[in-house]
C-alpha cells in the first residue's frame, strides 16, 4: 500500500511566557477537547503536551481543511486518526481520506508522524524520540546504558558493549530505544509493556517480537539537531528519532536517513515562534 509518511518536528527552542502558554492551552481546549490536559502554566511538561496537540491542527490547516470539517477519532487501544467530513466527497475518496497519526515528545523536541489512506491502513503508525544524552547529567555512558538493560535483549546488549566507545554506545542505545518506542506506540501497547519482548538486530536490519519475526513493517531512522536557548544560553541538543509503520509487505524494511536533503522530502521542522504565530488561524 502506498501511504507516504510525513513528519512534523517542533523545536521548543526557547523558554515560553505564561501568555503564550495560555494562548496554546485555550486553543487546544477549544479545538482538541478530547485531550483533557490539566491547566498548569508553570509546568514545562504540560506545555509540551499542549503544544504537541497543536500539531494535528497545524497539519490540517496546511491542508486547508476547516476545523469544522474533521473530527479526531480513537481506537480502543488509543490509536488516533482524523476523519474528514464526507460532504462533497465521493465515497471512495472518503474511505481513502483517513489520516492516521501519532504524537511524541522528549525534552525540547515534539513530533508528529502521519499518513493517509483507509482507516485500517493508517492507524498502525508510531514515532519514537530519544535525546542523545545521559541522564542525569554527569552520569557515565556505561551507567546510563546499564539503567536500560531491562528494556534490551542479550543480543542488543552486545551492540552497546563498553569497548564500542562512549559515542557509539550512546547513539546505538538511543536508536534501539527510539525504534522500540515507535513500534510499541504503533501497535497501541499500554505503558507497562515489556520492551525486552522486542529485539532489533541493527546490523542485520531485522526485528523480532516474542521471538517471532516482525513482518510487514517499515522503520525509518533519523537524527534531529536542535539549538535551544535556556536561561539565555544557547545549547545544542541531538535527538534520535524513529518511525514505525505497518505496510503489510512480506518483509520488514529499515530506512536510514543520514543527511538533511533526504529528510527535507518528508520531515518538516518548525519552532515555537512559528507555532504561536499561526494560533489565530488554527481555529478557523
Q: What is the pLDDT of residue 1?
A: 54
In angstroms, the CA 247 to CA 216 distance is: 5
pLDDT for 88: 77
pLDDT for residue 6: 96
List pLDDT tens digits, range 236-246: 999 999 999 99
Domain 6-282 listed as CATH 3.40.50.300: no
Give the residue carrying C-alpha cell 465515497: 91
b/e code 36-72 from CB counts within 10 Å (16+ = b): eeeeebeeeebbbbbbbbbbbbbbbbeeebeeeebeb
Q: What is the pTM for the complete model shown?
A: 0.95
Average pLDDT per block of 10 residues along the chain, 284 residues long: 89 95 97 94 96 97 93 94 91 92 97 96 97 94 96 96 94 98 94 94 95 96 94 93 95 89 91 95 85
The residue extents of the domains of the chain are 6-282
Q: Report pLDDT for 91.
A: 87
Q: Express each pLDDT in 64-119 by its tens digit.
A: 999 999 999 999 999 999 999 998 789 889 999 999 999 999 999 999 999 999 99
Amino acid at each position: 500500500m502506498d501511504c507516504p509518511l510525513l513528519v512534523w518536528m517542533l523545536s521548543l527552542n526557547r523558554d515560553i511566557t505564561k501568555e503564550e502558554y495560555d494562548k496554546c492551552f485555550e486553543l487546544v481546549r477549544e479545538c482538541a477537547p478530547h485531550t483533557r490536559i490539566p491547566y498548569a502554566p508553570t509546568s514545562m511538561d504540560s506545555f509540551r503536551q499542549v503544544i504537541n496537540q497543536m500539531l494535528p491542527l497545524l497539519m490540517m490547516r496546511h491542508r486547508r481543511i476547516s476545523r469544522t470539517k474533521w473530527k479526531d477519532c480513537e481506537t480502543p487501544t488509543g490509536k488516533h486518526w482524523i476523519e474528514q467530513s464526507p460532504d462533497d466527497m465521493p465515497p471512495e475518496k472518503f474511505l481513502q481520506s483517513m489520516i492516521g497519526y501519532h504524537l511524541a515528545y522528549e525534552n525540547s523536541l515534539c513530533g508528529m508522524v502521519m499518513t493517509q489512506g483507509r482507516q485500517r491502513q493508517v492507524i498502525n503508525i508510531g514515532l519514537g524520540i530519544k535525546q542523545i544524552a545521559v541522564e542525569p547529567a554527569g552520569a557515565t555512558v556505561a551507567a546510563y546504558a546499564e539503567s536500560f538493560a531491562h528494556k534490551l535483549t542479550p543480543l542488543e546488549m552486545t551492540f552497546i558493549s563498553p569497548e564500542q566507545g562512549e559515542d557509539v554506545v550512546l547513539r546505538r542505545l538511543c536508536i534501539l530505544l527510539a525504534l522500540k518506542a515507535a513500534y510499541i506506540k504503533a501497535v497501541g501497547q499500554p505503558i507497562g509493556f515489556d520492551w525486552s519482548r522486542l529485539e532489533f538486530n541493527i546490523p542485520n536490519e531485522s526485528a523480532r517480537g516474542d521471538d517471532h519475526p516482525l513482518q510487514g513493517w517499515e522503520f525509518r531512522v533519523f537524527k534531529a539537531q536542535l539549538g535551544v536557548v535556556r536561561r539565555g544560553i544557547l545549547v545544542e541538543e541531538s535527538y534520535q528519532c524513529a518511525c514505525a509503520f505497518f505496510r503489510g509487505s512480506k518483509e520488514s524494511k529499515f530506512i536510514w536517513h543520514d543527511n538533511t536533503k533526504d529528510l527535507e522530502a518528508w520531515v518538516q521542522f518548525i519552532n515555537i515562534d512559528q507555532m504561536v504565530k499561526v494560533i489565530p488561524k488554527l481555529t478557523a
